[in-house]
A and B are shown apart, each in its own frame.
Chain A
Amino acid sequence: MTEPNIAIETRNLNKIYGSGNTEVVAMRDANMIVHHGEIVALLGPSGSGKSTFLTAVGLINPPTSGEIFIGGTLVMNGPKPMVNVRSFRRQHIGYVFQKSNLIPFLTARENVQIAMELNGTGSREAKKRAQHLLESLGVGDRGDYRVIMLSGGQQQRVAIARALANHPSVILADEPTAALDSQLGKQVMELFRTVAREYGAGVIVVTHDQRTLDVFDMIYEMEDGAMHQNKTVHPTKAYFNS
Chain B
Amino acid sequence: MNLALKDIRNNLGRFAFTTIGIGMMLMIVMGMAGIYRGLVDDATLLINHIGADLWIVQRDTRGPFAEVSRVPRTLVYRALSVPGVLSAREFVYHTIQRQHKGKQLRIAVLGLSWPQDKGDWLPIVSGRALGQNHFEIVVDKSLGLPLSETLKLGKDTYTVVGLTHNMVSSGGDGMAFVTLWDSQSIQFDAPAEAIRLERAARDQRGESNELFQSQPFLTQQLNLPASQLPAVATPALSAVMVKLTSTYESDRVRSIIAGWDDVSVFSRAGQEELLLEGMVDKARRQLGMFRALLTLIAAIIMALILYTLTLDKIRSIALLKLIGAPNRVILGLILQQALILGGLGYAVAYIVGLKLFPYFPRRVVITNEDLIQLAFVVLGISILSSLLGMWKALTVEPNDALMT
- Assess whether A160 is interfacial by the CB under 8 Å rule: no
Q: Which of B308-346 contact A (CB under 8 A)?
A: 313, 315-316, 319-326, 329
Contact A55 B402 (CB under 8 A): yes
Contact B399 A61 (CB under 8 A): yes
Contact B323 A115 (CB under 8 A): yes
**Cα separation A162 to B324 with both chains bound (whole Å):** 12
Contact B323 A110 (CB under 8 A): no
User: Which residue of A90, A103, A113 is within 8 Å of B319 (Cβ)?
Assistant: A103
- Assess whether A51 is interfacial by the CB under 8 Å rule: yes
- Assess whether B10 is interfacial by the CB under 8 Å rule: yes
- Assess whether A182 is interfacial by the CB under 8 Å rule: no
A97 contact set on B, CB distance < 8 A: 401-402
B11 contact set on A, CB distance < 8 A: 105
- Assess whether B246 is interfacial by the CB under 8 Å rule: no
Contact A162 B323 (CB under 8 A): yes
Contact A105 B313 (CB under 8 A): yes
With known contacts A60-B399, A86-B326, A97-B402, A105–B9 Cβ distance under 8 A: yes
Q: Could you mark each residue 81-93 of chain A with 1 if its beta carbon is under 8 Å from any beta carbon of chain B, else 0?
A: 0000011111100
- Assess whether B7 is interfacial by the CB under 8 Å rule: yes
**Cα separation A61 to B399 with both chains bound (whole Å):** 7
A118 contact set on B, CB distance < 8 A: 320, 323-326, 329
Q: Min CB distance, B309 to chain A, in Å?
A: 11
Minimum CB distance partner of A92 in chain B: B324
**Cα separation A110 to B7 with both chains bound (whole Å):** 12
User: Which residue of A86, A104, A123, A174 is within 8 Å of B402 (Cβ)?
Assistant: A174
Minimum CB distance partner of B8 in chain A: A105
Q: Could you mark each residue 346-375 of chain B with 1 if its beta carbon is under 8 Å from any beta carbon of chain A, else 0?
A: 000000000000000000000000000000
B320 contact set on A, CB distance < 8 A: 103, 114, 118
With known contacts A103-B320, A104-B10, A119-B324, A114–B1 Cβ distance under 8 A: yes
Minimum CB distance partner of A119 in chain B: B324
User: Which residue of B316, B323, B402, B404 is within 8 Å of A105 (Cβ)?
Assistant: B316
Interface size of B by Cβ–Cβ distance < 8 Å?
Answer: 24
B313 contact set on A, CB distance < 8 A: 104-105
A126 contact set on B, CB distance < 8 A: 1
- Assess whether B398 is interfacial by the CB under 8 Å rule: yes
**Cα separation A60 to B404 with both chains bound (whole Å):** 16
- Assess whether B6 is interfacial by the CB under 8 Å rule: yes
B325 contact set on A, CB distance < 8 A: 86, 90, 114, 118
User: Which residue of B1, B315, B326, B398 is within 8 Å of A60 (Cβ)?
Assistant: B398
Contact A90 B323 (CB under 8 A): yes
Contact B324 A104 (CB under 8 A): no
**Cα separation A104 to B318 with both chains bound (whole Å):** 13
- Assess whether B3 is interfacial by the CB under 8 Å rule: yes
Contact A101 B401 (CB under 8 A): yes
* Inter-chain residue pair count (beta carbon < 8 A): 73
**Cα separation A202 to B133 with both chains bound (whole Å):** 104
**Cα separation A110 to B401 with both chains bound (whole Å):** 18
User: Which residue of B7, B315, B321 is within 8 Å of A86 (Cβ)?
Assistant: B321
B326 contact set on A, CB distance < 8 A: 86-87, 118
User: Which residue of A55, A105, A119, A174 is within 8 Å of B7 (Cβ)?
Assistant: A105
- Assess whether A117 is interfacial by the CB under 8 Å rule: yes
A101 contact set on B, CB distance < 8 A: 315, 319, 401-402
- Assess whether A220 is interfacial by the CB under 8 Å rule: no
A117 contact set on B, CB distance < 8 A: 1
Q: Min CB distance, A99 to chain B, in Å?
A: 7
Q: Min CB distance, A179 to chain B, in Å?
A: 10
With known contacts A103-B316, A104-B10, A95–B323 Cβ distance under 8 A: yes
User: Which residue of B9, B10, B322 is within 8 Å of A95 (Cβ)?
Assistant: B322
Minimum CB distance partner of B324 in chain A: A90
Contact B3 A114 (CB under 8 A): yes
B9 contact set on A, CB distance < 8 A: 105
**Cα separation A123 to B3 with both chains bound (whole Å):** 13
Minimum CB distance partner of B398 in chain A: A60
With known contacts A89-B322, A162-B323, A123–B316 Cβ distance under 8 A: no
Q: Which of A40-97 contact B (CB under 8 A)?
A: 51, 55, 60-61, 86-91, 95, 97
- Assess whether A98 is interfacial by the CB under 8 Å rule: yes
Q: Min CB distance, B100 to chain A, in Å?
A: 62
Contact A123 B1 (CB under 8 A): yes
Q: Min CB distance, A75 to chain B, in Å?
A: 13
**Cα separation A200 to B1 with both chains bound (whole Å):** 29
A51 contact set on B, CB distance < 8 A: 402
Minimum CB distance partner of A90 in chain B: B324
**Cα separation A157 to B141 with both chains bound (whole Å):** 71
Q: Which of B215-267 contact A (CB under 8 A)?
A: none
Q: Min CB distance, B192 to chain A, in Å?
A: 81
B401 contact set on A, CB distance < 8 A: 97, 101
The 24 sampled A-B contact pairs (Cβ below 8 Å) are: A60-B322, A60-B399, A86-B324, A87-B326, A88-B324, A89-B323, A90-B323, A90-B324, A91-B324, A97-B402, A98-B404, A101-B319, A101-B401, A103-B316, A103-B319, A105-B6, A113-B1, A114-B323, A115-B323, A117-B1, A118-B320, A118-B324, A118-B329, A146-B10
* Sample of 17 more A-B contacts, CB < 8 Å, known A101-B402, A105-B6, A114-B1: A55-B402, A60-B322, A60-B402, A86-B325, A87-B324, A90-B323, A95-B322, A97-B401, A98-B404, A101-B401, A103-B320, A104-B316, A105-B3, A115-B324, A119-B324, A126-B1, A146-B10
Which residues of A come within 8 Å of B, CB atoms? 51, 55, 60-61, 86-91, 95, 97-99, 101-106, 110, 113-115, 117-119, 123, 126, 146, 162, 174
